[in-house]
Structure 1
């Protein structure tokens, strides 16, 4: 794979190894970045331009299409790239910088399993809108051959859209074939099926769940209880440390999450947006539960012969201070519901449950939006931290859900 070296100013040296040469295999060329890109001061544009130049030079060297002129080499004018050639350029120039690890991991799975087998050897400028429309109409489930679910089609659409949008923006192709390809939408049958899927629990069901959670180890009981009452995403709550708690204010500060990188390895990272950071008010009885658990947690840490968590103090960890994989919480939740014969709601549905609890206690839509840290009513992935006082008033009715007040609580 070719690489570049900055020579100063707007000059760069592109270098690639010539597979046909046993000795002195490096082949290089000096290129100048266009003034409009330099003046833009945009690192994204610079990286994208360099990625394309590196790929073009690498292709010329690997295929022997270069000419010697003294010490420098000049390349023949060719911007032709196959789909498979362009994907690494797109990854370096865009995806690595703009996609989260999990998103990039899922996208590359789609690229490797769906897109490369179909379009890999096709020149980028020869993929047509009609090709894409016809291909989308034939998509099947790779495992059983059944028609592909709309959500799966949508993920494929987003991957293709991103790749061809950047190819058009970077002038690799003269026309964007995705223009004219309709965004997949659910059929009436699918919409009815989705409507029938249980998305959250009612207040009465939450009361039952809170008692059933005593069948789990203490840390999982506290984790799932917090998810139901605070509307946290799974990775946000897994990343909370003891230093993120304010017992006096009865609140938890969210500023990071546990997720996976593009290689599928668990990592701690920032939350998705600046707006996602902030204090989340919680019921007083829940914070009292955390305080009691903290004493148990610290005692267990002292007894641990080989602590692997370093300076990290994750409240919820997989033993010896090591962070959980996000999927561990999902799997534990599903097994808990099945074992206790409880209605199935996805773990993320506990976030919706938090909003449902507020609604059942008379909170208006704007108050729920504030509590869940949404910047828009129609979204669930952006938070706001501007009205903690309002959120505290809204959450007050949840105090009565304290399991210790219930007749059969352990």
Structure 2
């Protein structure tokens, strides 16, 4: 086998730590050669044995790529031809099914119609700048910056991969400014209510008693524990620890690439962990568990198999991730309560902590953010109660009180 590989593929030393890997294409009658230059990493190059092992592995991978037909000359690679390779080589390895579905929606709706037939190496920054500057909705109205940003992220991921995989000499997206909201749009965004105040939370907790127990406890839990909607849907009774007073988060209910509901692991390692809850909430949950078990015993046909979801759509079947969103929106409208998106309950949990004096590290750990920068970006923006408190501290400087005013 090794003799065959030597005949089909070999390496040539170019000097220093650089080598040319050469392989023959078995799909061609004349078996033309295809080459690829690699550089041995400095820590490996120190050892002759490790260098040989590394080169043998790289040569085998290169030969396999050539044999499987995955190697296409950069000058012949169109954008539309590269997208499936990017999806298989990057998106499928690093994105969840629902994210892939959304990203591919932007790729198919905007990027492929614009760049599909263009060669990768001929797409320039100016082409991308012009494209983003002219982006509008289908009816010609202005496109939201967030939508432009999502299209930009999709394009960046694709061009970054093409550059990293040495299919293009320069990355055209590097010369494109990341879309950002204008002054008018930023003002409109600031006017959108993103979370509830502490006083509003008190009102909400009372109003939630109008809902069935499962939904009252679901929304209350999200508001106090800062769970993502899919995380809390995936919680089972085995994840509830009454003695600890906490709930274990490990999985989530989400959509796959085809739009079907599935259970999967949470996105990051940091998202996994115990979330401690108020004791009164855990007592409420315990009472609900007794009712839950009675309902299961009386269920003629349990469809949840061995799953024991706290919140399910009947007969143990997992909810669709979109069901809580719709239920929340209808609840607010029916009771004429201020509208905040369901994800805003997670922000509410963070703001309650911030307004109680918790530091950013505590909030980060509570909400299970991967980076504290994410926490800082969200929770260092204006909080009405904190801003009011800061202003009240200046009351003592009132000139007439200080007897310094004329």
TM over 0.5: yes
Once the two structures are superposed, the pairs formed by residues 132-143 of structure 1 within 5 Å of their partners are 132-142=128-138
Cα separation, partners in 2 of 1:318 and 1:100, compared to 1, 3 Å: same
- The residue number in structure 2 matching 1:179 is 174
Q: TM-score, normalised by structure 2?
A: 0.77
Q: Which runs of 5+ in 1 are unaligned?
A: 1-6, 17-27, 58-76, 382-410
The correspondence for 1:124, drawn from 120, 124, 145, is 120
More helix by proportion, 1 or 2? Answer: 2
Once the two structures are superposed, the pairs formed by residues 230-245 of structure 1 within 5 Å of their partners are 230-245=225-240
- State the alpha-carbon separation in 2 of the partners of residues 92 and 50 from structure 1: 14
- The residue number in structure 2 matching 1:39 is 54
Indicate conservation of the 8 Å contact 1:104/1:262, yes or no: yes
Cα separation, partners in 2 of 1:13 and 1:209, compared to 1, 3 Å: farther
- The residue number in structure 2 matching 1:314 is 309
- The residue number in structure 2 matching 1:271 is 266
Indicate conservation of the 8 Å contact 1:51/1:89, yes or no: no
Once the two structures are superposed, the pairs formed by residues 10-409 of structure 1 within 5 Å of their partners are 39=54, 50=65, 54-56=69-71, 80-142=76-138, 144-380=139-375
- State the alpha-carbon separation in 2 of the partners of residues 365 and 164 from structure 1: 35
Superposition RMSD in Å: 3.3
SS at match of 2:136: coil
After superposition, give the CA deviation of every residue in 1:342-389 in whole Å (9 maximum; x if it has no partner).
0011111111111222233333344333322335433159xxxxxxxx
- The residue number in structure 1 matching 2:385 is none
Question: How far is 1:216 from its partner?
Answer: 1.4
- The residue number in structure 2 matching 1:388 is none
Question: How far is 1:299 from its partner?
Answer: 1.4
Structure showing greater Rg: 2
- State the alpha-carbon separation in 2 of the partners of residues 36 and 310 from structure 1: 53
Question: How far is 1:78 from its partner?
Answer: 6.8
Q: Which runs of 5+ in 2 are unaligned?
A: 10-22, 41-52, 377-406
Question: How far is 1:42 from its partner?
Answer: 9.8
After superposition, give the CA deviation of every residue in 1:265-316 in whole Å (9 maximum; x if it has no partner).
1111111111111111101111111111111111111222221211111111
The total of aligned residue pairs comes to 344
- The residue number in structure 2 matching 1:69 is none
